[in-house]
Amino acid sequence: MEPGARPVPCRTLAEVFSRVQAGEADAGVVPVENSLAGSVGETYDLLLTHELVVTGEVVLPVSHYLMALPGVTRSAIKKVISHPQALAQCNDFLQHMGVECIPFYDTAGAARYIKETLPTDTAAIASKRAAEIYGLELLAGEIQSNRENFTRFYRIEREPRSAGAKNRSVFVVSLPHHPGSLFMALSSFACRGINLTKIESRPVKKDPWQYLFYLEFEGHVNDWPVKSALDELKSKSGMLRILGSFAVEE
């Protein structure tokens, strides 16, 4: 988060994109992939349907905590609410507890719900900071099944930012449905020594069994090798759209 920025909470990823596009927020921060659960498909779909650009990224460690109202004991908990991803990432712990898991739109929102509704048989899974904000008591900490758990986020804005010393770019492309089309697309980068760091396929909503490919690579779209690769790829693709080039911290 930028120094001095005022956070604006949103219930859904779609709301984040809509607020930024409408100018109600200067920037948004949205998850793009988790080291255990994989890619966040909704973020990719929203990037395609909004005129916004990716201008940065941040990788954060994920630490989950079980929390409830002050005075509520762990043995009294019958239900646990949180975001589906958080519930899945704490599955081993929750199975051992033998509780009912109830999906909620957001981890911090689950903590807030506990604070506002005052249930004595329900706990939330959220961050330690959420417990501090809503005055909840921690019943257990670091309950995720795998401690090597990280989530990468994109920063999205209406306008691009300047390049840095080290950059990464992301784009989406549609390819003809014939043998070797993806290989030929990737060769445009490989033969120029450009390192692809991620590839993700997403279904075309109005064309069953057709797919779009989202690719990330090292470099900026203004670098000559990258421009040359993209120009070649345009001649092999049905559609190509740059979603952002952004500086990456060393």
Catalytic positions: 151, 153
Which DSSP letter does residue 78 get?
Answer: -
Report which DSSP code applies to 11: S
| Burial group, residue 4, by CB count within 10 angstroms (0-12, 13-18, 19+) | exposed
Alpha helices in the chain (DSSP H): 13-21, 41-49, 84-89, 91-97, 107-117, 128-134, 181-190, 224-234
Residue 126 carries which side chain, given as an amino acid letter? A
What are the Cα distances from residue 245, in Å, to 32, 133, 160, 166, 239?
15, 35, 8, 10, 18
Retrieve residue 116's tokens.
């506002």
Give kind and range of the element (H or E) at residue 67: strand 65-68
Residue 108 buriedness (CB in 10 A; 0-12 / 13-18 / 19+): buried
